Amino acid sequence: MVGLNQDRTPLFDAVKKYIQDNVVQFHVPGHKQGRGIKEFCDFVGEHVLQMDANGMEELDFANNPTGVIYEAERLIANAFGAQYGYFLVNGTTAGVQAMIMSACEPGDKIILPRNAHKSTIGGVILSGAMPVYIQPEINERLGIAMGITEESLKKAIKDNPDAKAVFIINPTYYGVASDMKSITRIAHRHGMAVIADEAHGAHMSFHNDFPLTAMEVGADMSAASMHKTGGSMTQSSVLLLRSNLIAPGRVKQILNLTHTTSSSYVLMSSLDIARKQLATNGSELLDDALQLARWARDEINSIDGLYAFGKDLVGTPGCFDFDETKLGINVMGLGLTGYQIEKKLRKEYKIQVEMSDLYNILCIVSIGHRKEDMDTLVNALEDIAIKQGVREYKAATMLPHNPQMIVSPRDAFYSDKKVVALEDSVGEIAGEMVMAYPPGIPVVCMGERISKDIVEYIKLLKEEKCQLQGTADPYANKIRVLGKE
């Protein structure tokens, strides 16, 4: 596909022509270009609702594309250096699950880092695969999980030579990248497919100052959230394939099992445009974003009590490279939690950060930011620091160690369950996931033994008013475990 014209937007052009043709609609959706939902149309504008069409010959069919969607997917594959590209309208969650189901059959082992997103566990359950967890390196100062090392992967492969795939996060939510090139080479030498969650790395192919991507190092599949950092609309992502180990026919078969038959043309059109923009002008746009992130990082690091981490982490355990547009700020020196800083910024300064944890906040700097946005953030943080004052530095609370998996996630999902109080769950086998969201990394997964450390950590998260998800009880006062009532 060398030489494809990345200035083209075949799907977006077809949707615009469909609107211009003034077609009298007797197909779904029922709002009929916004006339049936006038209040919403008046607010968002009629063009958005006119674009909300259905599959037909001139607009193609997302589940079996042969026309303009097919052409748009060829272009996005070409832009990322893949053989095949697939539009996703259910976020990278759908892509992660499709990758695992494409690489693994029931009973197959998959090697993955413990700090993988909850969608990974969903993929494991759907595929019937058996997870083999690698403990990521932990940065004790920041209290966060980093990447994995070559040594930890080699050990996991030595202990599990029959594993079918290796799953990698590239980069982590905080911007940390493992050595993707070495990891891919090691896995391929042992006949294992390499699949990558690049939810936070959709932009990285388009500027030389970012970590290498899965497609650039010869990995088999990756799923990238174009909506997070590539400019498309929320929920739109891309699945990429370039592999001798995973057949494109199998990938398409898996997608047809899980993918909606009513893909949004608004979301897919935004993917078409975002791809064009990154492919033709991404380097310049990302250069601006990098300059803003670097300026803000330097300014924040001049404020007493704050530490904006970045490229200085490269070379520390688990950090081979770093995405500088992930502006992580450690706030421990102010004696406040990240959760408290997030609330202050939102309520007192009208700033919403991407996420917070016990000791950090995370701001995502992207191609849509302006210098005045960065000024507002820096000034707010400086004001908070002046009012709060520098406090005694305290060591971060360590994340619990990997729990012991007693039952496979799939078997646990289908097993009988009972409800117990959180305090009474120590020693039980979890019948549901518990995770802080964001970032959506499970503290305990289905089928794992619940330890005292895990219960204490969950209680700490609750005290900090962290958003907990995965439990039937929205307050996580009770938890489902394996067993009959």
Q: What is the CB-side half-sphere exposure of residue 411 using CA atoms within 13 A?
A: 13
Mean pLDDT across the stretch 368-396?
90
**Residue at 165: amino acid letter:** A
3-state secondary structure the chain: CCCCCCCCCHHHHHHHHHHHCCCCCCCCCCCCCCCCCHHHHHHHCHHHHHCCCCCECCCECCCCCCCHHHHHHHHHHHHHCCCEEEEECCHHHHHHHHHHHHHCCCCCEEEEECCCCHHHHHHHHHHCCEEEEECCCEECCCCEECCCCHHHHHHHHHHCCCCCEEEEECCCCCCEECCHHHHHHHHHHCCCEEEEEECCCCCHHHCCCCCCCHHHHCCCEEEECHHHHCCCCCCCEEEEECCCCCCHHHHHHHHHHHCCCCCCHHHHHHHHHHHHHHHHHHHHHHHHHHHHHHHHHHHHCCCCCCEEECHHHCCCCCCCEECCCEEEEECHHHCCCHHHHHHHHHHHHCCCCCEECCCEEEEECCCCCCHHHHHHHHHHHHHHHHHHCCCCCCCCCCCCCCCCECCCHHHHHHCCEEEEEHHHCCCCEECCCEEECCCCEEEECCCEECCHHHHHHHHHHHHCCCCEECCCCCCCCEEEEECCC
Distance set, CA 470 to CA 104, 207, 239, 437 (Å): 24, 36, 25, 9
> What backbone torsions phi and psi does residue 180 show, to the nearest 5 degrees?
-60, -40
Q: Is residue 316 within 8 Å of 149, Cβ to Cβ?
A: no
| Cis previous bond, 439, omega within 30 | yes
- pLDDT-wise least confident of 339-348, 414-423, 464-473: 464-473
Q: Is residue 100 within 8 Å of 120, Cβ to Cβ?
A: yes
All structural domains of the chain, each given as residue ranges with its CATH number in brackets, are 10-278 (3.40.640.10), 283-388 (3.90.1150.10), 409-482 (3.90.100.10)
Say how far apart CA 115 and CA 400 lie, in whole Å.
12
Examine the pLDDT at 157 and tell me if it is beyond 70: yes
Residue whose tokens read 């974003």: 289
Q: Is residue 219 within 8 Å of 246, Cβ to Cβ?
A: no
- Over the stretch 418-435, which tens digit does the pLDDT of each residue have? 999 999 999 999 999 998
Examine the pLDDT at 467 and tell me if it is beyond 70: yes
pLDDT at 465: 77
Q: Is residue 337 within 8 Å of 255, Cβ to Cβ?
A: no
pLDDT at 143: 86
Examine the pLDDT at 73 and tell me if it is beyond 80: yes
Q: Is residue 405 within 8 Å of 444, Cβ to Cβ?
A: no
Q: pLDDT class for 400, splitting at 50, 70, 90?
A: confident
Most distant pair of Cα atoms in the chain: their distance: 68
In whole angstroms, what separates CA 481 from the centre of its chain? 28
- Over the stretch 264-308, which tens digit does the pLDDT of each residue have? 999 999 999 999 999 999 999 999 999 999 999 999 999 999 999
pLDDT at 1: 44
If we measure between CA atoms, which residue out of 424, 416, 414 comes closest to residue 478? Answer: 424
Strands 307-309 and 326-330 come out as antiparallel
Say how far apart CA 441 and CA 447 lie, in whole Å.
16
Say how far apart CA 307 and CA 319 lie, in whole Å.
17
Residue whose tokens read 């099992």: 257
With pLDDT > 70 as the criterion, what percentage of the chain qualifies? 97
With pLDDT > 90 as the criterion, what percentage of the chain qualifies? 87
Say how far apart CA 79 and CA 3 lie, in whole Å.
10
If we measure between CA atoms, which residue out of 85, 76, 5, 361 comes closest to residue 231? Answer: 76
pLDDT at 232: 98
- Over the stretch 204-215, which tens digit does the pLDDT of each residue have? 999 999 999 999
Residues 464, 466, 469, CA angle at the centre, nearest 5°? 150
Mean of pLDDT over the chain:
94
- Over the stretch 129-145, which tens digit does the pLDDT of each residue have? 999 999 899 898 898 88
pLDDT at 441: 77
Q: pLDDT class for 466, splitting at 50, 70, 90?
A: confident
Examine the pLDDT at 440 and tell me if it is beyond 80: no
Say how far apart CA 263 and CA 83 lie, in whole Å.
22
pLDDT at 242: 98
pLDDT at 469: 84
Q: What is the pTM of this model?
A: 0.94
